[in-house]
Amino acid sequence: MKINKDFLVSFSKNVVKINRVVNIGLNAEQKVLLGKSVYFGQPGNNNFEDTVKDMKDFDTNSLISEEPFRENITNNLPEWDIIQAIMMDILSSKQATKLKKPDFRIIILEEVVVEDQQFRLHVIPIRRGSKVINKDWTWRLKGDVLQKIKNLGTSKAPLTVEFDIEPFINLDFEIVATFEVELQTNKQSTSIKSIIEYVFDVKGQQYAFKLHEVNRELALTTLSNFVNKPNEYTISSDQYRVNITNYQKLFQIIKDDVSIVNRLAKYQGDASYFDFKRISDANQKLDEADRIMIDESNKQIVVTQDCIGTFTALIHDLLLQRLITGDVELPLKNYHQ
């Protein structure tokens, strides 16, 4: 990969909207080192073309399965506005100036495929809490920098990245998504013709672009429906009700968990047709601490923070089938008290 330019991107607070894009201007030696260290989704996977050649197209299960996917981005999707804002700032060649509020969310590595026509924008999330510090016209991104997306915000080996006068970068970068952007130009202006997004890490992509925050409201609505519409939001053809004591408190516990939020946000009552035996069989295959609590006498499923991750997996047929067969191990994160 030949990195042409490097950018830091910040978002407006609590809104899926670009606030500013800053060119951080790494020198040529740093670009070479950085280009050798990047990988796509998994360590050791550093070839873009090989990574995407067999990638599946996005479908309704992509956010649930959390498997890599490709998607044609249209202008009715939030990613279109985000990439348009980034691309226009990149083309304007804005240079970094002293920052008053140096809070950034993602690093963009720009790769020019066809001069002035086609670009790849590789996205690396910045770990929450990291800040850029002004230092004599150079840049320094300091702290536990890279977002290790496997557990959103925590890193087994915290890393520090320095964009400074020393031409040295010693880390592994994980690219969570790449956008292939094709431009079209006329005498008056330049605009985006097409965008293809390749997502290597679903959780990472959701976090990086604040899409997770868009799904929060939908997830909260789903939880409230289980409580406030118990006759409509039942589980299985045997019509088991879902018992959640305090759904708002539970939501506060799980609202930063991308997997659980996505599963709740995408739930549309599908589990009302399940054979309850399938749910029971899958539940029994789990460790006792992670099982949902089934009240047979009252035909209820009791959902708490101890089993919320399990519950949100069991109500989606794709994940339920995997739990039954044991073909794929699912990362069922529960919040044991």
Which pLDDT band holds residue 15 (cuts at 50, 70, 90)?
low
pLDDT over 70 (residue 109): yes
β-strand partners of 227: none
Distances from the Cα of 73 to the Cα of 121, 163, 286, angstroms: 14, 32, 38
For residue 53, the number of C-alpha atoms closer than 13 Å in the C-beta half-sphere is 4
Residue 271 CB partners (closer than 8 Å, separation 6+): 235, 236, 279, 314, 315, 316, 317
Question: Is 176:146 a contact under the CB 8 Å cutoff?
Answer: no
What distance separates the 2 farthest-apart alpha carbons in the chain? Answer: 73
pLDDT over 50 (residue 33): yes
Distances from the Cα of 67 to the Cα of 41, 56, 63, 70, 194, angstroms: 10, 9, 8, 10, 23
User: How confident is the model over 72-81, as pLDDT tens digits?
Assistant: 999 988 889 8
pLDDT for residue 188: 80
Residue 302 CB partners (closer than 8 Å, separation 6+): 243, 292, 293, 294, 295
Which pLDDT band holds residue 279 (cuts at 50, 70, 90)?
very high
Which pLDDT band holds residue 235 (cuts at 50, 70, 90)?
very high
Neighbours of 11 (CB within 10 A): 21
Distance CA 104, CA 82 (A): 14
Which pLDDT band holds residue 200 (cuts at 50, 70, 90)?
very high
What's the rounded mean pLDDT across residues 188-202?
92
pTM of the model: 0.81
Task: Name the more confident of 19 and 198.
Answer: 198
Which pLDDT band holds residue 96 (cuts at 50, 70, 90)?
low
What's the rounded mean pLDDT across residues 117-121?
93
Q: What percent of the chain is modeled with pLDDT above 90?
A: 39
3-state helix/strand/coil string of the chain: CCCCEEEEEEECCCCCCEEEEEECCCCHHHHHHHHHHEEECCCCCCCHHHHHCCCEECCCCHHHHCCCEEEEECCCCHHHHHHHHHHHHHHCCCECCCCCCCCCCEEEEEEEEECCCEEEEEEEEECCCCEEEEECCEEEEECCCECCHHHCCCCCCCCCCCCCCCCCCCCCEEECEEEEEEEEECCCCEEEEEEEEEECCHHHHHHHCCHHHHHHHHHHHHHHHHHHCCCCCCECCCCEEEECCCHHHHHHHHCCCHHHHHHHHCCCCHHHHCCHHHHHHHHHCCCHHHCCEEECCCCEEECCCCCHHHHHHHCCHHHHHHHHHCCCCCCCCCCCC
What's the rounded mean pLDDT across residues 159-171?
38
Distance CA 38, CA 266 (A): 32
pLDDT over 90 (residue 261): yes
What's the rounded mean pLDDT across residues 10-36?
71
Q: Mean pLDDT lowest for which of 71-80, 83-92, 279-288?
A: 83-92
What's the rounded mean pLDDT across residues 247-257?
94
Which pLDDT band holds residue 41 (cuts at 50, 70, 90)?
confident
The crossing angle, in degrees rounded to 10, of helices 211-228 and 247-254 is 160
What's the rounded mean pLDDT across residues 98-118?
78
Q: Which of 45-59, 91-105, 148-162, 319-333 has the highest mean pLDDT?
A: 45-59
pLDDT for residue 31: 72
Intra-chain end-to-end CA distance of the chain, in Å:
46
